[in-house]
Amino acid sequence: MTDFPKLTQAQMLERLSPPTDTVRVVIDSDTANEIDDQYALAWALLSPEKLSVEAVTAEPFSFAHHLPVLREAEAAMLSGKPYPEHVVGGFQGWLTRLHNQGRRVDDLKLVGPDKGVEPELPGDTDGL
């Protein structure tokens, strides 16, 4: 267990006070994953009066680790057997939409983190 030094009330208030100067930041993001990352990155880059963006790094992402659970959920759906939602991980609605497109889990080309940092090509819809 780490022992942190005890701060005085004045030190705590100083450290919790909103910054008054431009804040230097390094952004580590996977901007291809959720739209909020793209908005946050754009806001940061367009707000030089608030943030000094020192660097932007790519966070490797991958959905490949979901494949076993997706396959299990798909098998349960196709067999008509009930299955607990916590086992499925909330994928039922997503799998239904995938099946409505005539696709199955094994049709997806889910890549590992090594490929997750590469830029996505326009029109690429093979992955998740």
Summarised one tens digit per residue, pLDDT across range 6-65 is 999 999 999 999 989 999 999 988 776 678 888 999 999 999 999 999 999 877 777 788
70 falls within a domain:
yes
73 falls within a domain:
yes
Q: Residue 128: pLDDT band by 50, 70, 90 thresholds?
A: very low
Report d(CA 106, CA 70) in Å as an integer. 9
> What's the confidence (pLDDT) of residue 125?
53
> What's the confidence (pLDDT) of residue 121?
61
123 falls within a domain:
no
Q: Domain boundary residue among 58, 76, 91?
A: 58
> What's the confidence (pLDDT) of residue 123?
60
125 falls within a domain:
no
Same domain, 69 and 112: yes
> What's the confidence (pLDDT) of residue 16?
95
Secondary structure of residue 43 in the 3-state scheme: helix
Report d(CA 40, CA 103) in Å as an integer. 33
Same domain, 36 and 75: no
> What's the confidence (pLDDT) of residue 86?
44
Report d(CA 122, CA 13) in Å as an integer. 48
Structural domain of residue 108, as residue ranges? Answer: 64-116
Report d(CA 103, CA 98) in Å as an integer. 5
3 falls within a domain:
no
Q: What is the pLDDT of residues 81-118, one digit of tens each?
A: 766 554 444 666 777 788 889 999 899 888 777 775 66
15 falls within a domain:
yes
Same domain, 53 and 70: no
Number of domains in the chain: 2
> What's the confidence (pLDDT) of residue 27?
92
> What's the confidence (pLDDT) of residue 69?
80
Same domain, 91 and 77: yes
122 falls within a domain:
no
Q: What is the pLDDT of residues 90-99, one digit of tens each?
A: 666 777 788 8
